[in-house]
Amino acid sequence: MMSSDNFKLELFNQFARIGKALGNAYRLEIIEFLAQGERNVEELATLSGLSIANTSQHLQQLKQTGLVTATKKGQYVYYQLSNPKVIDLFAILRDVAEQTLAEVNKLVDTFLTVKDDLEPIPAKELLERARQGLVTVLDVRPPEEFNAGHLPQAINIPLKNLENIYHTLPKDKEIIAYCRGPYCILAYQAVAQLRDQGFSAYRLENGFPEWKQAGLPIE
């Protein structure tokens, strides 16, 4: 019979497995990608810039700790987050990092120079204003992520297309841009470009996964 000290150590070793799984930048990035919707190995490798073998290795680790699940479709293996709480876990990990690691703030201050987040108006108010056509909600993620789920009334203009399309946007409406998460550069760059063109543009602080996890409506 296992002693209570051994039991506790074994149990905490299991908890530590989750910590280890999150202890690598690429695996965190994969989690962020999967938070937008399921992806296959090749897509994840391309998105992250890793080799396919290395991507598969990281996915095996995430799978073995139960953070992701896999589904075979033909010869493609699609990966999903196993549980929406993984989004909450990553969100609070980022939050803690933001508050405890000076380097996070230094990086953000240096690189993400478009400062003002959207004033934290209630999500319900944003939804109502969007419904009334008073603001443009702009999703700058790739189309397949938009298709997997997005904010109600959102339009999808991936950042790389923005330069060619912004002139079709009404200038008399505020634009609220959002992306994969709170540190997604695409939303920052979109807001910067739009402001350069005279638009009144802001960034939603969180991304689509956090919005969804908050129980807010999605399409």
Partner DNA sequence: CAAATATTCAATAGAATTATTGAATAATAA
Partner DNA sequence: TTATTATTCAATAATTCTATTGAATATTTG
Considering the complex, what minimum distance in angstroms separates the CB of residue 112 from a second copy?
Answer: 8
**DSSP bridge partners of 117:** 203
Q: Which is nearer to DNA, 51 or 161 (CB)?
A: 51
Cα dist from 215 to 130, 151, 153, 169, 218, whole Å = 18, 12, 17, 29, 9
Considering the complex, what minimum distance in angstroms separates the CB of residue 78 from DNA?
Answer: 7
Q: Is the CB of residue 38 less than 8 Å from the CB of residue 79?
A: yes
Contacts with DNA by CB under 7 A lie at 20, 23-24, 26, 40-42, 50-54, 56-61, 70, 72, 74-77
Q: Report the side by side order of strands in the sheet with 76-81.
A: 39-40, 76-81, 68-73
Q: Which is nearer to DNA, 66 or 133 (CB)?
A: 66
CA 18 to chain centre: 19
* Host H or E run for residue 82: none
The one of a second copy, DNA, none whose footprint includes residue 95, by CB under 5 to 8 A per kind, is a second copy
Considering the complex, what minimum distance in angstroms separates the CB of residue 212 from DNA?
Answer: 24
The one of DNA, a second copy, none whose footprint includes residue 153, by CB under 5 to 8 A per kind, is none
Report residue 196 as tokens. 């350069």
Active centre residues (catalytic): 179
Contacts with a second copy by CB under 8 A lie at 2, 4-5, 7-29, 49, 65-67, 82-83, 85-86, 88-90, 92-97, 99-104, 107-108, 110-111, 183, 185, 189
CB atoms within 10 A of CB 41: 19
Considering the complex, what minimum distance in angstroms separates the CB of residue 170 from a second copy?
Answer: 28
* Host H or E run for residue 21: helix 4-21
Q: Which is nearer to DNA, 77 or 192 (CB)?
A: 77
The one of a second copy, DNA, none whose footprint includes residue 121, by CB under 5 to 8 A per kind, is none
The one of a second copy, DNA, none whose footprint includes residue 117, by CB under 5 to 8 A per kind, is none
Q: Which is nearer to a second copy, 52 or 101 (CB)?
A: 101
Cα dist from 204 to 23, 34, 49, 122, 186, whole Å = 27, 20, 27, 11, 12
